[in-house]
Amino acid sequence: MTISELMEKLHKASPEGIKLVEKAYSFAEEAHRGQLRNSGEEYIQHPLEVAKILLELEMDEATIAAAFLHDVVEDTHYTNEDIEREFGSQVAILVDGVTKLGRIEYKSKEELQVENLRKMFLAMAKDIRVILIKLADRLHNMRTLKFHSEKKQKEIALETLEIFAPLANRLGIFRIKWELEDLSFRYLKPQEYYDLSEGIALKRAEREVQINEVISQLSKRLAEVGIKADISGRPKHFYSIYRKMINQHRELSEIYDLTAVRVIVDSVNDCYGALGIIHTMWKPLPGRFKDYIAMPKPNMYQSLHTTLVGAHGEPFEIQIRTWEMHRTAEYGIAAHWKYKEGAGKPVGGNFEQKLSWLRQMLEWQHDSPDAGEFMESLKIDLFADTVFVFTPKGDVVELPAGSCPVDFAYRVHTDVGHRCVGAKINSRIVPLETKLANGDIVEILTSKQSNGPSRDWLSFVKTSQAKNRIRGWFKKEKREENIVRGREGIEREVRKLGLDPAQVLKSDLLLKIGKSYNPVFDS
């Protein structure tokens, strides 16, 4: 894409906005002049492509300008003060946010990844647009990954698959998520990627005939009942097909829903009306209907999903949504980040609620100083599948799959968790380690006479929130008991070595050992 082509797509922008973007491009072009990418092309092509991706997400002019400038401070002699002087504080804050995401010293690769994530969460809390620029930056880097060494390709692809694709998913930006996943898959498992690509190509013609038949029949029937609908076939993405094959231990020939039919209508009533018609035309598969309209996913995704049996006995999936839901499914959080003139605020009163998971991340990240623990918690809390359960009053509580009543208790309130003595699921008393399922009504039984949480709970709770609250309670409430237990453990190990515990405990040996494992002993 050229700058003139990009500017043509900015026709809806204000004159001031267009002037800002043009100025940012000229500034970036001059700043990066003489710099080349690994591909051999001029460096300015990268920020231009990043800006194009963000323009496709319909981001505001300040974000597009920041996209052009996002590497200027890091890769040229210009400072953030220069950016603020030339473009104002809003653009400067965005550029500074992106710059800070890539600047820190690390002791290990795991710490590098963890620190990147900590900074991303903080950046998101300040302005979600910083992360949208970072995602667009990563997407273009993945598109040009072939110009790196094989070792570098795999490193970048793995990080993308583990961190950036799930993050795009959590923000509901599926168009970026799918592409990041497929590109990562291509570099991490090239043979499997090309085998799958060839296999799907062989089945495509046959599949298209079947799907076109479904579209034709459904279009005619919905028109007869007065439901206006846009109906199309959507091929499933390679990585999602590969994951299904691995998780379900199937061959490609056993995967039938390679293409989904998407039905877009004008209203929620039409969604359910279309669903009723569809279920009279084809037999639905039991247990394969999902209502994400009544119960949206954490990333704001809404649709009705149903899997049906076709005329030739082959299963196929239909997704039904409104145009507004379709926009959210494509653009995710970006669809809700339209700035009011001069206000700098996202449109939509429930925007903060939609990012409640981010507040939870910020709340517990400071309680997990250990890099390995942070990564493990992150994979569970942020990127895991989700279950939705209800309080007795009917409020919905979202938890990672595999959570138990104790996780539920701590999600409701720390004191509820600490005073928990039992639980009921659907009015039946159950063990505290029972795994929760979608739709469960969970009631926590508490007692003021409770002695607090049990250490045993740490063996079965799923969420980092619950683990951190339980550990925190024992650190605070059981300090003396912990000291006694620690002393007993040390004495036991010292005796195994044939040493006298009394002599060892009196010496400065333990202090030296402590310093070698934890720098806090030096203070």
Query: For residue 242, how many C-alpha atoms fall within 13 Å in the half-sphere facing its CB?
Result: 19
- Residue 501 CB coordination number (10 Å): 16
Does the active-site annotation cover 433?
no
d(CA 106, CA 92): 26
- Residue 253 CB coordination number (10 Å): 8
User: Measured over all CA atoms, what is the biggest interatomic distance in the chain, rounded to whole angstroms?
Assistant: 92
Q: Which of 474, 470, 476, 465 is nearest to 365 (CA)?
A: 465
d(CA 52, CA 516): 51
Q: If you search the block for the tokens 């039904």, which residue do you land on? A: 320
User: Quick one: tokens of 276?
Assistant: 């009723």
d(CA 307, CA 319): 9
Reported residue count of the chain is 523
Q: Do 484 and 491 contact (CB within 8 A), yes or no? A: no
Q: Which of 401, 171, 177, 462 is nearest to 298 (CA)?
A: 171
Does the active-site annotation cover 480?
no
3-class SS shares of the chain: helix, strand, coil, % to 5: 60, 10, 30
- Which of these is catalytic: 22, 42, 58, 74? 74
d(CA 26, CA 398): 47
The phi, psi pair for 43, rounded to 5°, reads: -60, -30
Query: For residue 388, how many C-alpha atoms fall within 13 Å in the half-sphere facing its CB?
Result: 12
Query: For residue 500, how many C-alpha atoms fall within 13 Å in the half-sphere facing its CB?
Result: 4
Q: If you search the block for the tokens 């309680």, which residue do you land on? A: 367
- Which of these is catalytic: 5, 75, 254, 500? 75
- Residue 115 CB coordination number (10 Å): 17
The phi, psi pair for 259, rounded to 5°, reads: -130, 135
Residues with a known catalytic role: 74-75
